[in-house]
Chain A
Amino acid sequence: MMTKTEIVRVGISDWNIVKGNATIRTAGLGSCVGIVLYDEFKKIAGMVHIMLPDSSLDRSARINHAKYADTGIYMLMELLKSEGGRPMSLKAKIAGGAQMFQYGSTDTLRIGPRNIEAVKQVLRRLAIPIIAEDTGGSKGRTIEFDPTTSMLSVRTVNSEPKEI
């Protein structure tokens, strides 16, 4: 018997994992990047919603690892391993990194593209292949991943959702 599908929500600078008959979702990605790591045979997936490329930018008293590409992705990988994901089988799908507003003067305002670059660099270093991506542009995105099909649904304003 099918049970009702649950949606696990991931906030901004937040992360979580999901197994089997549930999906994982984050809403309103702009310059932020949503990274999904998954093991398609174990039907386990994790998502992190990062805001910034590099934890060396952090000036807070206590760092939130899920906020940064370098620390967030690494932490998610470790959690997936401890929950039964096989490190050699992990794959990634990513979305976000838009340039929401057209200012180009400082680094901060190019944060979307910098986030994408950082995410790709970290994934390369961890030897996790990127199977699909929907990045860049100037539109916000809401994404939802289904670990049973390994499909990432991407919705933008005023257009039909697509699956990658």
Chain B
Amino acid sequence: MSAEIKITDLHLDVLKEIGNIGSAHAATSLSQLLNRKIDMYVPNVQLVTFDEMFDLAGGADETIVGIFLRIQGDVSGSMFFMLSIDCANHFINLLTGEESFDFHRMNVTDIGISSMQELGNILSGSYLSALSDFTGLKIHPTVPSLSVDMVGAIISFGLIEVSQYSDEVIVIDTEIREEGMKYSDSIKGNFFLLPDPHSYATIFQSLGVL
């Protein structure tokens, strides 16, 4: 993976714990925001090829709603919060009461878009501040950008840094879901955290596993 360190099972467990903590906070924020119980599924930490990563998000060609931000500070990397279009529409209905909002038909309003962006802000902010508390590292997110486009087009942007080192990437993937709902009509989303290769050493060092 990285030129400098060999990633062991212990390292993967540590990354998994990072995902756990971050996404638990994000799920709590989301539960409060929507006033319903949101479940968080234990993150998967996997070393995957870029094409496999697209498949995790539904396939390179699939249209999704993606919120992307860069992480800067002591560590750098990319973060994505990805939702199916149906889920994003559902979210926006819940947040704004706009029933006709539909990313499918691009029947979108400014208030809907900005509530989606705000959602991205809140979720990524709570995820990353938990991470910062846990590791003691300074982590600054950039302002999140929203894009409704193909999975491959959105995610490949976050792979530029990694791609100079490798054809594979460690994905810290968390699934969040609305409790008690059927899979098809529940709120479901994925967080992908992709640390840049040179940041692994910093992360592991801060947690005493290097």
**A60 close to chain B: CB less than 8 A:** yes
Q: Are A30 and B154 in contact (CB under 8 A)?
A: yes
Interface residues on A, range: 20 to 34
Q: How far is the CB of A96 from chain B (nearest CB, A)?
A: 9
Q: Are A11 and B51 in contact (CB under 8 A)?
A: yes
**Complex alpha-carbon distance, A103 and B144, angstroms:** 10
Residues of B within 8 A of A108 (CB): 160-161
Q: Are B160 and A28 in contact (CB under 8 A)?
A: no
With A67-B167, A140-B153, A157-B149: A12-B50 Cβ-Cβ less than 8 Å: yes
Interface majority SS on B: helix, strand, loop or mixed?
mixed
**B60 close to chain A: CB less than 8 A:** yes
Interface centre among A32, A51, A140, A141 (most CB of B within 10 A): A140
Residue ID in chain A nearest B106 by CB atoms = A158
Residues of A within 8 A of B70 (CB): 103
Q: Are A13 and B167 in contact (CB under 8 A)?
A: yes
Q: Are A27 and B59 in contact (CB under 8 A)?
A: yes
- Partner of A100 from B51, B153, B164, B167 at Cβ < 8 Å: B153
Q: Are A51 and B156 in contact (CB under 8 A)?
A: yes
Q: How far is the CB of A111 from chain B (nearest CB, A)?
A: 5
Q: Are B160 and A100 in contact (CB under 8 A)?
A: no
Q: Are B166 and A60 in contact (CB under 8 A)?
A: yes
**Complex alpha-carbon distance, A16 and B166, angstroms:** 20
Q: How far is the CB of A9 from chain B (nearest CB, A)?
A: 9
**Complex alpha-carbon distance, A158 and B106, angstroms:** 8
**Complex alpha-carbon distance, A158 and B148, angstroms:** 10
**Complex alpha-carbon distance, A111 and B150, angstroms:** 18
Q: Are A52 and B163 in contact (CB under 8 A)?
A: yes
Q: How far is the CB of A10 from chain B (nearest CB, A)?
A: 10
**B145 close to chain A: CB less than 8 A:** yes
With A139-B149, A157-B150: A30-B157 Cβ-Cβ less than 8 Å: yes
Q: Are B160 and A60 in contact (CB under 8 A)?
A: no
Interface residues of A (CB under 8 A from B): 11-14, 27-32, 51-52, 57-61, 64, 67, 98, 100-103, 108, 111, 139-142, 157-158
The 4 closest A-B pairs by CB, nearest first: A28-B152, A140-B153, A30-B153, A28-B60
- Beyond the given pairs A31-B157, A57-B164, 12 more chain A to chain B contacts, judged by CB atoms under 8 angstroms and listed by A's residue number, are A12-B54, A12-B156, A28-B60, A52-B163, A98-B153, A101-B68, A102-B145, A103-B70, A103-B145, A140-B153, A140-B154, A141-B150
Q: Can you list 20 residue pairs at the A/B interface with Cβ under 8 Å? A: A12-B60, A12-B159, A28-B61, A28-B152, A30-B152, A30-B154, A30-B157, A31-B160, A51-B163, A57-B164, A60-B166, A60-B167, A61-B3, A98-B153, A101-B147, A102-B145, A108-B161, A111-B160, A140-B153, A157-B149
Interface residues of B (CB under 8 A from A): 3, 49-51, 54, 59-61, 63, 68, 70, 106, 142, 145, 147-154, 156-157, 159-161, 163-167
